[in-house]
Amino acid sequence: MRDAGIATACLLAIVFAAGTGAYLIFGPDLSAGGFNPKGLIDHVGSVGNVLVSPFARWDSAWYMTAAQHGYGEQLPAAPPAFFPLYPLLIAILGTFGLNDVFAAVMISIASLLVGLRVVWLLTDLEFGEHYPEAPRLAVFLIALFPTAFFLTAVYPESLLFALSASAFWMARQGRWAWAGLLGGLAAASHSLGLLLIVPLGLLYLREHRWWHLRFDVLWLALVPVGYGAFMAYLGLRGMDPLSPLYIHERWFRDFTGPFKGTWLAIEAASAGFHQLFSGSAYPIRWPAERQLGFDPMTASRDNIELFAFLVLAVAATIGAFRRLPLAYGAYIAVVVLVSVSYPIEAQPLAGFSRYLAVTFPVQMVMARWLAAHKPWRLPVLGLSSCALAYYVGYFATWHFVG
């Protein structure tokens, strides 16, 4: 808990200093499409606007909308793309008189502490005997990841992180009822939570071969039950219960499969390099950017950065398959495959850096490598911290961070 607490404090210090500093110096860039329906974020006064700037932006409004008004087809209700567990917890704390933004941030921070503690335990279990410094490094790699500010923001990523890591830990202890329950809660908090069925199933088969299955394997069925419960709730509210499966189309995402999605990401990054090295926004090298009115230079830089995160994920997947039980590598792999299978053509990997921040086996593998290569620790953590400060400043001033 000491390492988890120190890492969380470091993250909060960077988030608050860089976020509020950028907001005060540069101000909000509302031309970038600041998303604030019904004033759900900017209702806290001029001082409050500064204080919440690193924490409440973009999709934060949807989660607070769901907490206040539930789900529906029209505003002010939230669409089914935003899963219910996180806004439910916000609403519960709201009954005690807590401000929604404050309650949401407290949930995120508490979840982060739990998740970091569990990742410390997992890393110690898998690497601690030969690399005793790996658990601490894993905790700091997560807290100082370039997009780790989402773990303190009004987003469900931190809750997903805590629940998924805890489900892994319970599975590694052979406590399948708890693993299934936590996996089900993860599936009710984020669409990626459903993917836990793959690594949890592999962890079960690691202990019990398929020809020796026991009745306790049925506890893992609670993972899709968490997802299905949300669909059943939507049906009872008179909405399409299958809408979470295709609501992504509202955000211009289409299913292409992992191979075409990856190729689009490569093409977008390549076009981005040409755009930036040309030094001019015109001619536009990636015509798909026109669909959403993206600035060509900004979009080019974003596509290159997102592709770099994809390269990191592929390297981590290979490392996890080599150094960790099969389930860890499989977890990274399914997150990557799903993420690249639903691209936005203008920005094929939109959202990927955020998802990677909570796919904790990535940081576990990095921690093992840094534990074995001590000279790289300070450069890696230092550069990651600088990227974190940059991204949170960008986020706080109403620029979209994918």
Q: Where are the domains of the chain?
A: 2-396
3-class DSSP state for residue 399? coil
120 burial level (CB within 10 Å; 0-12, 13-18, 19+) = buried
- pTM of the prediction? 0.94
Q: CA 343 to CA 104: how far, in whole Å? A: 29
25/48 Cα distance (integer angstroms): 16
Pairwise CA distance, residues 250 & 243, whole Å:
11
* Per-residue pLDDT in tens (0 to 9) along the chain, 402 residues: 999 999 999 999 999 999 999 999 988 876 654 455 555 565 666 787 888 889 998 889 889 889 988 887 666 678 888 999 999 999 999 899 888 899 999 999 999 999 999 999 999 999 999 999 999 999 999 999 999 999 999 999 999 999 999 999 999 999 999 999 999 999 999 999 999 999 999 999 988 876 677 888 899 999 999 999 999 999 888 888 888 888 777 777 888 889 999 999 999 999 999 988 888 878 888 777 666 667 888 888 999 999 999 999 999 999 999 999 999 999 999 999 999 999 988 889 999 999 999 999 999 999 999 999 999 999 999 999 999 999 999 999 988 887
Q: Contact at 8 Å (CB) between 225 and 304? A: no
